[in-house]
Amino acid sequence: MRVAIFLCLATTLFARLNPFLPTMNIETITDNHPESIGYFSEDSIYLPSTSRILKKVKLVHQNIDGSIEEVTKNIDKKVDWHYPVKIMQPNDDRQDRQYSYIFKKIDIDTIRFIKVNAAKNAVLMDTDDTIVRSFMLTKPYRIVLDFERDESFQGISSKIKDSYFTKVVIGNHDGYYRAVLYLDSYYDFKLDRKDKGYLIELKR
């Protein structure tokens, strides 16, 4: 019994002294949807010949964490059973995911060494500086990019319109500056080095 107590205390002490163990809870994001599932575009539902009134439509969806929920829309309208009921979701920006983006400049003109250009699901950070680390944070969802540069400047925050990115915040730190890209939800993202800086693409 004494040996067991000693081992328990030793393990606890090691855990507190070990610098490689986390000292606080770190949130992780779980994406439970299979990678092979494509994007929904359109489908049809045929009603039986006895149908006369469409009362409601119910959609069952899976969330980021894998949980299942329902969304119900009341209709209460007459329906002709000879024709199918269609459900569709336009994906007009599909071509954008093939690197064919239309960027708009974001107003951060007070910072001279980096420019931010946003498309619907991509951001181009135009800079000669090198990214030293990048990671995702939650509550709210945001992508953090740390650039190597030791310079003092006034931080800035600017909203982004017509994009899955909602805001960019840039501030200076000791030996680097940080750009934070806020998102309207969780997405996987891809970071690529380009001739004019870095391209951040969101994967829905």
Q: What's the average pLDDT block by block, 10 residues per block, for the chain (204 residues)?
A: 42 39 39 63 90 93 90 93 87 49 91 94 95 95 96 94 96 94 95 92 86
What's the pLDDT at 38? Answer: 75
| Torsion angle, alpha carbons of 139, 127, 203, 159, to 10 | 50
- Torsion sign, CA atoms 96, 198, 181, 136: positive
CATH code at 94-203? 2.60.40.3500
| Exposure of 136 in the CB half-sphere (CA atoms within 13 A) | 16
d(CA 141, CA 131): 20
What's the pLDDT at 64? Answer: 81
Q: How many CB atoms lie within 10 A of CB 100?
A: 9
pTM passes above 0.75: no
Paired sense of beta strands 122-127 and 156-159, if any: unpaired
What's the pLDDT at 35? Answer: 56
Domain map of the chain by residue range? 42-88, 94-203
d(CA 185, CA 189): 12
What's the pLDDT at 34? Answer: 53
